Amino acid sequence: MNNGYIDIKFLNQKPSILIDMDMTLNNINTEWTRLYNETYNDNVNPQNITDWYIQDFFTKCTTEQTFQLLETPELFSKMVKPSPNSIKVTEILSKFYELYIVTACTHECVISQKFEFTEKYFPHIYKTNVIICHNKHLIRGDYMIDDYIENLKAFTGGGKLLINCPHNLNVETPENIQRVDSWNDILYYFAYHNKELMDYLDIDILNNCGECYEQFDIRNMLGMKQMLNMKFNIQ
Within the chain, all domains assigned CATH 3.40.50.1000 are found at 16-183
Task: Enter the pTM of the model.
Answer: 0.84
What is the average pLDDT value for the chain, to the nearest integer? 85
Q: pLDDT tens digits for 113-162?
A: 999 999 999 999 998 999 999 899 899 999 999 999 999 999 998 899 99
Q: Are 28 and 77 in contact (CB under 8 A)?
A: no
Residues annotated as catalytic are 20, 22
Q: For 68-77, how does the pLDDT look when each residue is reduced to its tens digit (9 = 90+)?
A: 999 999 999 8
| Domain 16-183 = CATH 3.30.565.60 | no
